[in-house]
């Protein structure tokens, strides 16, 4: 993934920053708890295509803010 392209990408729902997960090939929005897939190197920024992250993933993924919600 192109780092400059990544920096431009925001969540289509909340316009927040996304976290790139290289292993899963996903762009995750912690706020919405959605993970957008990257297919053939192209991020699919569609909420209906996104995977809903489970609570454990979100907690694991947000150091310092766990348990705050």
Residues interacting with Zn ion, by CB under 5 A? 11, 13-14, 16, 29, 31-32
Whether 18 contacts 9, CB under 8 Å: yes
Rounded CA-CA distance 60/64 in Å is: 10
2/52 with CB nearer Zn ion = 52
**Whole-number minimum distance, CB 1 to Zn ion, in Å?**
18
Q: Which is nearer to Zn ion, 16 or 54 (CB)?
A: 16
Q: Give the CB-nearest residue to Zn ion.
A: 11
In whole angstroms, what is the distance from residue 65 CA to residue 13 CA? 21
Beta bridge partners of 10: 17
Minimal distance, residue 57 CB to Zn ion, in Å: 15
Give the C-alpha separation, 2 to 42, whole Å. Answer: 10
CB of 16 to Zn ion, least distance (A): 5
């Amino acid at each position: 993934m192109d780092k400059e392209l990544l920096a431009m990408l925001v969540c289509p729902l909340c316009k927040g920053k996304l976290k790139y997960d290289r292993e899963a090939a996903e762009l995750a929005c912690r706020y919405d708890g959605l993970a957008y897939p990257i297919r053939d190197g192209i991020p699919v920024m569609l909420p209906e295509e996104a995977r809903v992250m489970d609570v454990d993933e979100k907690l694991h993924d947000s150091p310092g803010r766990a348990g705050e919600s």
